[in-house]
Structure 1
Amino acid sequence: MKDLIIHIIRIVAPLSVALVVFAQGLGISPRRVLAYFREQPRLLLRSLFASIVLVPIVALALILVLKPPLPVAIGLAILVSCPPAPMMISATPKLGRGSAPFMASLHLSLAAVAIITVPTVLYLLSIPLGFRATVSLPAMLWILARTIVLPLILGLAIHHLAPQFAESRARAFALAGTIGVAVVIVIAVVALFPLLLKMDPRSYLVMALVGAAALAIGHLVGPPDPAEKTALAVECGVRHPVLSLTIGTESFSQAQALPVLVPCVLTFIFMAMIYLVVRGRMTRTAKPVAPGGVA
């Protein structure tokens, strides 16, 4: 029964994430996304540096200092190696008033360089932690393509061709995707609940500290605009669950990977949701600034 549930999750989770990303693309003008590449390339480079370099470095430092059990250390290393965060592309603007166009530009940028950064970061983290992990490049590319690149570009293209039609359909696709993601999370928690209980409180504390540190990095490195700062914080604080689970199950057995990676993923999401609620309240009256400093 557990294998059947996991098989269902593997099918429903990518589809639900793709729907959420597609819906977000439907509601964004491509011009606003492209403006970051044309007008603020330094911001994108700084954001990529924070997500790809600073987050793994700080995560490794916390792991070495706090010394969680080796499986937890490996799970955290795999997770922080796998940006971006497609599950948060809808929640970030709604709950935290984060910038959807900026987050879309980060998703495309991180996905474009992932073929180099994911295996490189994972390899560098594996040296001090003493483990070996396998990254299937074709599998990784397919995951990123079907959950981020293709649905986001398709949504942006439809918005460009028929903006009114796209915006009128965005909410329905977002609702369907959000329900799917919620169902996946509930099923995962119920199916793996005994395994979640086996994780000791100290390991959960380490996961929470690493997740909070990643959020803090994005927040501190983020630009002055509150909406963009929130988007980068979440991009740093939450990673790609499907990609990390795929690497974990390919590198180790399913029985070894899931009991560790699922708690890591859920803890990171939980920390990010707390951050978004707080940011949403703090920035409720703030006026966002568009790329280039135009309000």
Structure 2
Amino acid sequence: MSLAQLIPIAMSISLFIVVFVLGTKTRLEDLSFLLRHPGLLIRSIVAMNVIMLVFVVALSQMFDLNPTIKIALVALAVSPVPPLLPSKQIKAGGAANYAVGLLAAASLVAIVLVPVSIELMEYVFPFELHISAGTITSILVLSVLVPLVSGIAIGGFAPAFAQRCAPYLSTAGTVLLLAALIPSLVKAWPAFSGLFSQGVLLCLVLFSLVGLAVGHLMGGPVPTDRTVLALATATRHPSIAMAIATLNFPDQRAVLALIIYHLVVASVVSLPYLRWRTREHGAVGPA
């Protein structure tokens, strides 16, 4: 088996482990948190999947962007919350029940919303896009729902065992993710750097900055909710975005490169916000 085949497998395993560890620290009722707060659920979906998609359309209409950049931005805009995000949100002072509940709710909503959004984009952009609900479901079930529910089950039936194993599993998942991500970044660099002169870096930075601002404003009156939604709106599930790109444009390696490097750009852009929110939440006490 080649390195190119091993990288996505290693990334999938690492994501499974990280979400499983998150599940061991999660209560079952956290999964339905947003069902008990429908107003916050609606604002969250509007911020992540409606306003950001409108922003991408507006950006594409105002500037003569390379089609590769347009495709990558659309794929990112319609993708749900990334599996790695809740831990970062909680460390920054975000409410754990909202962070986990948003991961679960956004994943379920994405099964319907992503294919519909993709079809609607055909009326705006001069290229065809499509992805089935079955493809979205399989990705989200394996990367989010199964490890999360499994972790909750283990944490509930054997809490002491889960607590002992969690640090080791978390370290293993992080190391495996880095081992998969670093070669991916190196391999994607030539295609990504080739678009520098066409404003690709500026587009990715704007996507993350606008996402942070939109999520923070739409998060409502609770400061911890603002932190969670801001980070969720600025980042995306890379597997969903890559599936959209691969299915519709299998020969466009530059699109995949943009999606991979969005992880890096979003992390760097979010650092000042993370530090600010950590200080703010620390000043007012624990969430």
| TM-score when normalising by structure 1 | 0.88
SS of aligned partner of 2:65 = coil
User: Cα–Cα, structure 1 residues 85 and 43, in superposed 2: closer, same or farther, change >3 Å?
Assistant: same
Q: Which residue does 1:234 correspond to in 2? A: 231
Matched, 1:182 2:178: yes
Deviation at residue 217 of structure 1 after TM alignment: 0.9
CA–CA separation in structure 2 for the residues paired with 1:264 and 1:138: 25
Contact 2:115 2:132 in 1 (8 A): no
Q: Which residue does 1:148 correspond to in 2? A: 144
CA–CA separation in structure 2 for the residues paired with 1:288 and 1:47: 23
Matched, 1:197 2:193: yes
Deviation at residue 274 of structure 1 after TM alignment: 4.3
Contact 1:245 1:261 in 2 (8 A): yes
Q: Which residue does 1:47 correspond to in 2? A: 44
User: Cα–Cα, structure 1 residues 282 and 264, in superposed 2: closer, same or farther, change >3 Å?
Assistant: same
Letter in 2 for 1:124: L
Deviates more, 1:159-168 or 1:206-215: 159-168
Deviations 1:221-267 (A, max 9, x none): 01333322111111111111011111111111244332333233432
Matched, 1:84 2:68: no
Letter in 2 for 1:132: E
Contact 2:81 2:106 in 1 (8 A): yes
Match of 1:102 among 98, 101, 104: 98
Q: Please provide the CA RMSD for this pair.
A: 2.2
Deviations 1:166-197 (A, max 9, x none): 33332222222222222222111122222232
CA–CA separation in structure 2 for the residues paired with 1:266 and 1:75: 15
Match of 2:270 among 259, 269, 272: 272
Q: Superposed, which structure 2 residues align to 1:107-118 within 5 Å?
A: 107-118=103-114
CA–CA separation in structure 2 for the residues paired with 1:28 and 1:207: 32
SS of aligned partner of 1:86 = coil
Matched, 1:286 2:284: yes
Q: Which residue does 1:166 correspond to in 2? A: 162
Matched, 1:208 2:205: yes
CA–CA separation in structure 1 for the residues paired with 2:213 and 2:118: 21
Q: Which residue does 1:292 correspond to in 2? A: none
Name stretches of at least 5 consecutive residues in structure 2 with no aligned partner.
Answer: none
Deviations 1:9-42 (A, max 9, x none): 211111111111111111122234444433x232
Q: Which residue does 2:27 correspond to in 1? A: 29
User: Cα–Cα, structure 1 residues 63 and 273, in superposed 2: closer, same or farther, change >3 Å?
Assistant: farther
Matched, 1:248 2:266: no
CA–CA separation in structure 2 for the residues paired with 1:167 and 1:104: 18
Deviation at residue 117 of structure 1 after TM alignment: 0.4
Contact 1:238 1:272 in 2 (8 A): no
Contact 2:227 2:277 in 1 (8 A): yes
Q: Which residue does 2:57 correspond to in 1? A: 60
Contact 2:30 2:100 in 1 (8 A): no
Deviation at residue 104 of structure 1 after TM alignment: 1.1
Match of 1:125 among 121, 140, 143: 121
Deviations 1:128-163 (A, max 9, x none): 221112313332211100100111111122223333
Letter in 1 for 2:222: D
Contact 2:93 2:227 in 1 (8 A): yes
Letter in 1 for 2:256: L
Match of 2:12 among 11, 14, 17: 14
Deviation at residue 220 of structure 1 after TM alignment: 0.7
User: Cα–Cα, structure 1 residues 211 and 258, in superposed 2: closer, same or farther, change >3 Å?
Assistant: same
Deviation at residue 68 of structure 1 after TM alignment: 2.0
Letter in 2 for 1:146: L
